[in-house]
Amino acid sequence: MRGTRWLAGCLLAAAVAVLPGTPAHAQKAADTLRVTWRDGIPDLNPYYNSLRIGLIVAHQAWDGLVYRDPDSFTIKPLLATSWKYIDDTTLEFELRRGVKFHDGSPFSADDVVYTINTILTDKKVAVPSNYAWIAGAEKIDDYKVRVKLKRIFPAALEYLSMVVPIWPKAYRERVGEEAYSKAPVGAGPYRITKVDGVSQIDFERFADYYPDSPKGKPAINKLVIRSVTDSSGELNALLGNKADWIWNFPADNFDNINRVPTLQALRAESMRVGYLSIDAAGRTGAGNPLTNVKVRQAIYHAIDRVAIAKNLVQGGSRVPDAPCYPTQFGCDAAAAMRYDYNPAKAKALLAEAGYPEGFETELVTYILPQWGGAVQNYLKAVGINARISQLQASAALQRSLEGKNPLYLASWGSYSINDVSAILPFFFTGGGDDYVRDPELKALVEKGGATTDPDERRKFYSAAIKRITENAYWLPLHTYVTTYGISRQLNFKPYPDELPRFYLSSWK
């Protein structure tokens, strides 16, 4: 493979160029952590994009009401100091006093009420299913708010900790939503000082960040995030002393990076699942072969998921039987129908469905080309000729929302929420990414999120998983093992929720 051979030469040159004794390879002297990753964020407003990198930026520059400890997954105070249930559908929060936003304005209940009530009606919110359980928020006094739930929702605090950052009401109303996205203000440990389109975001440690935050004040003063178009650009930046941190590079390069004296490669399994969405509902056009259940089952049998996990993802990647991450509450693998790698069975199913010679379709993806190519080759071997449309993540996501992706190779990290309510509703309750449109399945998923009884929740979610897999609606391919390439001068700890916390990093 060209990429691997090219990198081997680069690494050899890099290893010679940055031997100990040469000028500092990281930005420790400038106290600036340089991050490079693929794809830009079209809109920095954390509610206006569904990208993982958007979520990461949000957690550096914004705070929510509560914080989930990355080691224990326990919920801790953040902008709220305490909380309690008034009844089954009302959460009351006591708010922290003395907190400032990055523009110097004080935080109060007005900001919480404004944020929550605005996102419930804002059509630009990228993932409305994240907030479909909220009825609204009301101010009790300047430092007390109540969040009303539409129904019983057991994962409410998880969602509030991960996907409900608080806007500054006065600032956003003064500058307007468009200007806010270009010069955003939050109350997090880093403040954004400059936004250069989608290519670069500059941050600086917020001097007035409140000392009691469980996030703590960042040890590193400045953070610069640059976006590139592909994994080669990431590797070039790391090897060329233009980055101190990259991630999600091809696993074949892991050992080579570790051979460079000034660099270190790390990896950790994350809560992200790679998947193949299949247009069972026929959103991409009448007469679509993918609406035939036997065709979809043929696709399940055609792809060697174990080989992809072992040889491409590597690092202990697993193949989930159920359409969710194994540790998530309600992810019942025992309820799932299992499909082995069986090309002969795939061909037989295609013939039974009326496609003995196969058919042509489109595979849309933003995933590494090597991975998309592997899926394409497995499909071709049984007669399904899928031309690949390789797009940047934001473009592929937009096409998905518009119902234009017959086959969609993508990934979902559940916003790092350890509950299937963060994955099943997104794909199976009628939203833009639902390529199934199955009313019975929709009802099962919604019932699973409408009770606090764990056994009842498991019953409905298990039935949903059974229906999804029997009908071959959505194929989980593998768990992700996130790879990180970092400067050896950097203290950085990867977490299983796939949320890099740069505010917890430091120089050695």
- Rounded to whole angstroms, the Cα distance separating 257 from 263 reads 6
Sequence-ordered list of residues with C-beta below 8 angstroms from that of 346, at least 6 positions apart, any chain: 298, 299, 300, 301, 302, 382
- Give, in order, the Cα–Cα distances in Å from 349 to each of 33, 354, 374: 53, 9, 21
Task: Indicate if 170 and 311 belong to the same structural domain.
Answer: no
Q: Are residues 457 and 310 in the same domain?
A: yes
Residue 192 domain-assigned? no
pLDDT of residue 10: 54
Domain check: are 274 and 165 in the same one?
Answer: no
Q: Is residue 306 part of a domain?
A: yes
Q: Exposed, middle or buried, 175 (CB in 10 Å: 0-12/13-18/19+)?
A: middle
**Torsion angle defined by CA atoms of residues 60, 66, 70 and 75, in that order, rounded to the nearest 10 degrees:** 180
The answer to whether residue 14 is domain-embedded is no
Rounded to 5 degrees, what are φ and ψ at 4? Answer: -70, -45
The residue type at 502: F
* Count of the separate structural domains present in the chain: 2
Please say if the pLDDT value at position 309 is more than 60: yes
Residue 456 DSSP SS3 = helix
Of 125, 140, 174, which marks where a domain is finished?
Answer: 174
DSSP string, 477-491: EEEEEEEEEEETTEE
296 inside domain:
yes
* Co-location of 327 and 453 in the same domain: yes
- What is the CATH number for 286? 3.10.105.10
CA distance 372 to 411: 12
345 by Cβ neighbours in 10 Å (0-12 / 13-18 / 19+) ranks as middle
**Cα distance between residue 401 and residue 397, in whole Å:** 6
Give the pairing type, strands 32-38 and 222-228.
Answer: parallel
Per-residue model confidence as pLDDT tens digits over 192-202: 999 998 899 99
Report field, pTM of the whole predicted structure over 0.85: no
Q: From 174, 207, 236, give the residue that closes a domain.
A: 174
Domain assignment present for residue 276? The answer is: yes
The answer to the question of residue 197 being in a domain is no
CATH number of 86's domain: 3.90.76.10
Based on the domain organization, do 279 and 158 belong to the same domain?
no
Any domain includes 359: yes
303 plus 445 within the same structural domain:
yes
**Do 398 and 354 meet the contact criterion of CB atoms below 8 Å apart?**
no
Domain that holds residue 86: 63-174
Are 424 and 418 contacting, i.e. CB atoms less than 8 angstroms apart?
no
Does a structural domain hold residue 340? yes
* 166 and 278 assigned to the same domain: no
DSSP secondary structure code for residue 164 in this structure: -
Q: Are 428 and 434 in contact (CB under 8 A)?
A: yes
pLDDT tens for residues 16-49? 444 443 444 578 889 999 999 988 898 999 999 8
Residues 398-421 have pLDDT tens digits of 999 999 999 999 999 998 888 999
**Confidence tier at 11 by pLDDT (50, 70, 90):** low
